[in-house]
Structure 1
Amino acid sequence: MSLATDDDVFLSLVEPLRGELTAHCYRMLGSVHDAEDLVQETYIRAWRAFHGFENRSSLRTWMYRIATNVCLTALESRQRRPLPTGLGQPASDPAGQLASRPETPWLEPLPDTVVWGHGDDDPAAAVLSRDSVRLAFVAALQHLTPPQRAVVILRDVLAWHASEVAELLDLSVAAVNSSLQRARAQLAKLDPEAALPPVEEEHAQQMLAAYVDAFERYDVSRIVELLTEDAVWEMPPFDGWYHGAGAIGTLISTHCPAEKPGDQVLVPVMANGRPALALYMLEADGRHHAFHVQVPTLTERGFSHVVAFFELSLFDRFGLPRVLPEDPEERRALRAGTALAAG
């Protein structure tokens, strides 16, 4: 068989796994950029070893083994990626100065199209739960050691047997089970909303529409009403975080550049398996420019957590322009297009 034919066979077998492997590496690293790089490294290693693949396990399992080892090696030289709430400092004064730490490797959101953007026959649609890439879950994973992350993901997300995980990580089954028990206890403290029931779809759509309307009208009091009393707001690369609906209202009133209705325009996207919003802010040139990407968490009581990512390159990752079209029809098409792609 020619080298070209070998390439074709290899790619036809492994390329359909790219989305779910990207999600796997993202859970391990907390960065979509790093995840895509490591998936590429996984494919290179897999190609080099493909001649020795003897079907003793499924191809998917074999690829996950390689990807997990690639991630663990990468994590030896990388810092964990936190959110501001994970830095161990108390809630900030919403009327105080904002402090930016762009040098910190912050947790990144995951555009759904990176994982589920490969057509109707995408295997990720069948095997990958959107709940497994929830932002709060991935943020909590970053507090575990790399081997603990691997154990949790392989056992609880991918449903591997303890013996399979033990073989991959060169541990005993008892050590895997002990590590999993400790990791689950820590995750329960860091991600308490994991146990909450999902919000009914119609109610969720109504709440999200009300939330968008409140921002676009710059109605701070309405925004506060839509938040839970104990809501949390954070916005990397700013290192502060804010606790309580009233404090968040003060933060927005004090620091948001918007002044009136129409200053802000929100475009719906999907991130981490949930509805998210790309916010554009009116600037001096009369155009709405990329400002931040919000990933909100909705519960039956209201929005309990909002992470606003002030990293403009995210707009590129979500397939969004840096400047909003002025033409109303183009804006409607953009909103409709992102919503369709997200769904």
Structure 2
Amino acid sequence: MNDDISGYAFAAGRGDQVAAAAFVRATQHDVRRFLANLPGVREVDDLVQETYLRAWRSLPSFAGRSTARTWLLAIARRVAVDQVRAATCRPRTANLADWQAAAEAMPAGVRTGVDEQVVLHGLLDGLAAERREAFVATQLLGLSYAEAAHVCDVPVGTIRSRVARAREDLIAMIRPSVVDRRCGRSGAAG
């Protein structure tokens, strides 16, 4: 591998602490973003930490068959799958009053940005899990189809198909709300 991140990984695997810090700095944004956009994921900070803990244990054996970034995102995916499986055994509840109070305490400008993020996450949440995973990996993180296939442990053609279908699904979800706004409707049946 001839990229900086893989170089950091190889050096960190040999015990280079400076390279280890550079590896984290170079990858943490993508790991966090990937995990935050996977279906059913909670406690992203904990999952990021678990991803790096697993990666540290495996760094000495990193062989470079893929880029270190792709290798790390594959680990992150397995961490997320493990968390989702555990969460289905022990579901947690949230205190609605706490969420409402926090939302009301936000300044108006922040709420607008939050509202947009909620809409975007809502659209992504509407995708089937496999399509969402492929879409996030390729369209939000910029992985190639081959890298996404490695991360998701499926053939490249499957990734291409899932991304295409995710795009179709997103367009179908967006289209009714755009038509409703143009026609002055609220979107409610009636």
TM range, normalised to the smaller chain? Answer: 0.5 to 0.7
8 A Cα contact 1:151 1:180, kept in partner: yes
Q: CA deviation at 1:6?
A: 4.9
Which one has more relative contact order, counting CA pairs under 8 Å at least 6 apart? 2
Of the three residues 131, 135, 147, the one matched with 1:164 is 147
8 A Cα contact 1:23 1:35, kept in partner: no
* Higher helix proportion: 2
TM-score by length of 1: 0.36
Alpha-carbon distance in structure 1 between the residues aligned to 2:63 and 2:155: 25
8 A Cα contact 1:140 1:190, kept in partner: yes
* Aligned residue in 1 for 2:121: 138
* Aligned residue in 2 for 1:10: 20
Gaps of 5+ in 1: 80-100, 110-129, 196-228, 233-242, 244-343
Seen in structure 2, the aligned counterparts of structure 1 residues 15 and 66 have a Cα distance that, compared at 3 Å, is same
Query: C-alpha deviations, 1:295-327, integer Å up to 9, x for none?
Result: xxxxxxxxxxxxxxxxxxxxxxxxxxxxxxxxx
Alpha-carbon distance in structure 2 between the residues aligned to 1:144 and 1:17: 26
Q: Which has the larger radius of gyration?
A: 1
Report the RMSD for the aligned CA atoms in angstroms: 3.9
Seen in structure 2, the aligned counterparts of structure 1 residues 102 and 175 have a Cα distance that, compared at 3 Å, is same
8 A Cα contact 1:154 1:160, kept in partner: yes
TM-score by length of 2: 0.60
Of the three residues 183, 192, 199, the one matched with 2:166 is 183
Of the three residues 12, 31, 34, the one matched with 1:21 is 31
Identity %: 25
Gaps of 5+ in 2: 1-12, 89-93, 104-112, 179-183
* Higher strand proportion: 1
Query: C-alpha deviations, 1:260-286, integer Å up to 9, x for none?
Result: xxxxxxxxxxxxxxxxxxxxxxxxxxx
Q: CA deviation at 1:161?
A: 2.5
Alpha-carbon distance in structure 2 between the residues aligned to 1:230 and 1:102: 33
Query: C-alpha deviations, 1:173-220, integer Å up to 9, x for none?
Result: 222222222221112233459x9xxxxxxxxxxxxxxxxxxxxxxxxx
Q: CA deviation at 1:69?
A: 2.4
